[in-house]
Structure 1
């Protein structure tokens, strides 16, 4: 046991000596929907937040993020009214990243999601109706992310990511499993290095 702890301490020390941590901000466009939610379709919204990228080797890095994300779904109606479900979320992706070639990387990792609020919005002509539906959904969501990115420069990266929720977020006991699904296209900007 002592040898294992000693080996991990040496490895950690060597890693820290060569480690680089990049801090930055990122934002993007979300194309979101809810699976198994009645009459749902994709809707467009946005996400904003920050990240810390910890370089483990020249090719591997670990990147935790914290993002404010507007999700939900468009809802089909039988009239000319436009209806959508808008959820406000705080998401914490924990991404492992691998650089395949110079500037191009792929990423994979889990995501912890926390629902802040949910509203159903209906627009019928000049009439806007907003209904708070936060209690219809569970506040915690666990999902998986898959994505890729390309560094345009040392500071700027464009990226795309698919997030698939694994948690049933439907709070109503009707036997229908509802999960978050969204696709994000974004840009990240490195602010500093540690």
Structure 2
């Protein structure tokens, strides 16, 4: 009986220690997203889509120097691609028409972290993106400021033209204050071909930069 009580006590203490190594949190911030299209020896990088991300995280501290972190985020990603007119006399040639593509994406980043100091860490991992829906809308650059939406141009569903998986390895850095408030930044390099019906070696990828702020609860 005494042995059972001793084992139970050790198990409870171990559980408490483990619980102190786990921190939950929330984060949000700014995303700078671009698309890159390659095919037939040509390459084009889109104008950026300035957007945001928001979600939660869990961090498991393995030691004073290493940790694992998983997150669940939502972000509308994409970019603004140039539209080439088939006819040189087409008015769109002079309006510099762009196709704004927005991919509503669920992001699942998994990373390994190394702590340079108690508050400063660097990380590397992979961002598994799942495109939930995708829309496209045409707009024109008249040289007078922001893009102008073309009259009669409705937002079109293009989800059936895209693959769902958007895999992006990333590198990042984070600085956390003693009260749990932290600031982080990442560069995510898109490697998945998002074009579902790719022909002639055509490839469409989505890379993005994230800069944000968050708060972690719990910990030692």
Per residue, is there more strand in 1 or in 2?
A: 1
CA drift of 1:128 comes to 5.2
RMSD: 2.4
Q: Which residue of 2 aligns with 1:10?
A: none
The Cα shift of 1:17 comes to: 3.6
Q: Number of aligned pairs?
A: 182
Moved over 3 A (4+): 13-19, 80-83, 125-128, 191-194
Aligned residue in 2 for 1:158: 183
The equivalent residue for 1:24 is 25
- The alpha carbon displacement at 1:136 in A equals 1.1
Indicate if the aligned counterparts of 1:39 and 1:76 stay in contact, CA closer than 8 A: no
* Corresponding position of 1:56: 62
Give TM-score scaled by structure 1 length.
Answer: 0.83
Rounded to whole Å, the distance in 2 between the matches of 1:99 and 1:56 is 11
Matches within 5 A, 1:51-130: 51-77=57-83, 78=93, 79=95, 83-123=99-139, 124=149, 129-130=154-155
- Which has the greater radius of gyration? 2
**Structure 2: where are the runs of 5+ without partners?**
1-12, 39-43, 84-92, 140-148
Calculate the TM-score normalised by the size of structure 2: 0.74
Q: Offset at 1:39?
A: 6.2
Structure 1: runs of 5+ lacking an equivalent: 1-12
Which residue matches 1:187? 213
Q: 1:142 to 1:82 in 2, by over 3 A?
A: closer
Change (3 A) 1:99 1:71: same
